[in-house]
């Protein structure tokens, strides 16, 4: 398989994630978009790592990415749940108390 295809896939996932983050207002959809972007980064790391003759740096780095994604999802969702309890909505545009 051509190496470029893997990078195209990563780029596509990243842009799709970006699109989701930009266009959706629901907080959970934004989180989904972020997960997509993190996955895109992982694909690139693993793709380069599989051609790395020396070490497993890419794979190890992607383990860290996965862990950070897990931590981020846990904290993010707890914040979303709290916000929902307070504002009765998870729509990010309606949570604008600071907007004067």
Partner 1 sequence: METSNIIFYIFGAITVLSTLYIVLTKNILYAAFALILTFIGVAGIFIFLGAEFIAVTQILVYVGGILILLVFGIMLTNRLSEKKVVSPSYNKLFGFVIAGGLFVLLIKGILQANFSALGWINQETSSPSGIREFGMTLMTDYVLAFEIIGLLLLLALIGAVRIAGNTRKEAEDAI
Residues that bind partner 1 (CB under 8 A): 1-9, 11-16, 18-20, 22-29, 31-32, 35-36, 39, 42-43, 46-47, 49-53, 55-56, 59-60, 62-64, 66-75, 77-82, 84-85, 90-91
CB of 98 to partner 1, least distance (A): 19
SS3 26: strand
Distance in angstroms (rounded) separating the CA atoms of residues 92 and 43? 29
Instruction: Give the residue from 93, 91, 33, 43 showing the smallest Cα distance to 66.
Output: 43
């Amino acid at each position: 398989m051509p190496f470029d295809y893997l990078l195209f896939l990563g780029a596509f996932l990243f842009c799709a994630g970006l699109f989701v983050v930009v266009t959706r207002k629901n907080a959970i959809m934004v989180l989904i978009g972020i997960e997509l972007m993190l996955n895109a980064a992982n694909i690139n790391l693993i793709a380069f790592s599989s051609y790395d003759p020396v070490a497993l740096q890419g794979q190890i780095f992607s383990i860290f990415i996965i862990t950070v994604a897990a931590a981020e999802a846990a904290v993010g969702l707890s914040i979303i749940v709290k916000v929902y309890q307070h504002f009765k909505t998870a729509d990010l545009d309606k949570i604008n108390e600071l907007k004067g």
